[in-house]
Amino acid sequence: MQTVAVKNIPRADADVVSRLESFGVATVHEAQGRVGLADPYMRPIYAGARIAGSAVTVLAHPGDNWMLHVAVELCQPGDVLVVGVSADDTSGMFGDLLATSVMSRGVKGLVIDAGVRDIRDLTQMGFPVWSRAVSAQGTVKETLGAVNVPIVCAGARVSPGDVVIADDDGVCIVPASTAADVALKAASRTQNEEEKREQFAAGELGLDIYQMRERLAAAGLVYVDSAADLDEY
């Protein structure tokens, strides 16, 4: 492993990032073909936040948050700090002091495959975090990892500069190279869903809207009047 910090990374277009933020995780994840989602154990420390930004990535080791301090200096306004760990860990690597530090640099939030602490303070500061755990367990500063290299965070590949979208539904990663295209698809999807929502609200059925009845019958679905008509169960 190279113990390295990469100073300059590509960042996605601010407008694309902004649009992806507006669509949210579920829509963006669908728009890019149902890949890039972090594992669902990643939960926000408080409800209601939605952010998107360019990923500054950190590869840390269990129980050691040294690399987070290295990463802070390389953050720019609009970035999201994304931390992967070389082994399962729930230590509380990040608290209110680091939050104060990254907020002063315009970082929008943190996604960390480990623990976080001082969550009452972070909530009051309005600094959103998605984490695997809440834990007060402190960490050391002894082992080098890397900053701004490709990492895995909660099962998702993240390269520096990828767009991170996070909200109450979880965390999704969009490669910088496809972000603009995904934003277009997400916009189209959103518009389509708008129309569908009105139909559903009016009482129309998905069976009809999506013309599923014929395909269901072809697949072998049988309707019976009541349980008395069942052969088994």
Question: Which of 77, 155, 184, 191 lies at the binding interface for a copy of itself (CB under 8 A)?
Answer: 155
CB distance 82 to 58 below 8 Å: yes
Residue type, 132: R
Does 187 contact a copy of itself by CB under 8 A? no
Report 130-149 residues binding a copy of itself (CB under 8 A).
Answer: 133-138, 140-144, 148-149
Report 61-120 residues binding a copy of itself (CB under 8 A).
Answer: 61-64, 66, 69-70, 72-73, 86-92, 95-98, 100-101, 103-105, 115, 117-120
Look-up of token digits 């590869």: 59
What is the smallest separation between the CB atom of 144 and a copy of itself, expressed in angstroms? 5
Does 224 contact a copy of itself by CB under 8 A? yes
Does 185 contact a copy of itself by CB under 8 A? no
- The structure tokens listed for 198 are 């009105």
CB distance 59 to 69 below 8 Å: no
Where is 165: in which H helix or E strand?
Answer: strand 163-167
What is the smallest separation between the CB atom of 188 and a copy of itself, expressed in angstroms? 15
Does 126 contact a copy of itself by CB under 8 A? no
φ/ψ of 182, rounded to 5, equals -65, -40
Does 211 contact a copy of itself by CB under 8 A? no
Measure the N-to-C terminal CA separation of the chain; round to a whole number of Å.
Answer: 56
What is the smallest separation between the CB atom of 148 and a copy of itself, expressed in angstroms? 8
Q: How many residues contact a copy of itself, by CB under 8 A?
A: 113
In 3D space, the residue among 2, 69, 33 whose CA is nearest the CA of residue 173 turns out to be 33
Does 13 contact a copy of itself by CB under 8 A? no
Report 24-53 residues binding a copy of itself (CB under 8 A).
Answer: 24-26, 29-30, 32-35, 37, 39-40, 43, 46-48, 50
- Look at residue 158 and give its three-state secondary structure: strand
φ/ψ of 95, rounded to 5, equals -140, -160
Does 1 contact a copy of itself by CB under 8 A? yes
Where is 109: in which H helix or E strand?
Answer: strand 109-116
Where is 89: in which H helix or E strand?
Answer: none
Nearer residue to a copy of itself within complex by CB, 17 or 172: 172
Question: Which of 157, 180, 185, 190 lies at the binding interface for a copy of itself (CB under 8 A)?
Answer: 157
What is the smallest separation between the CB atom of 14 and a copy of itself, expressed in angstroms? 20
- Look at residue 56 and give its three-state secondary structure: strand
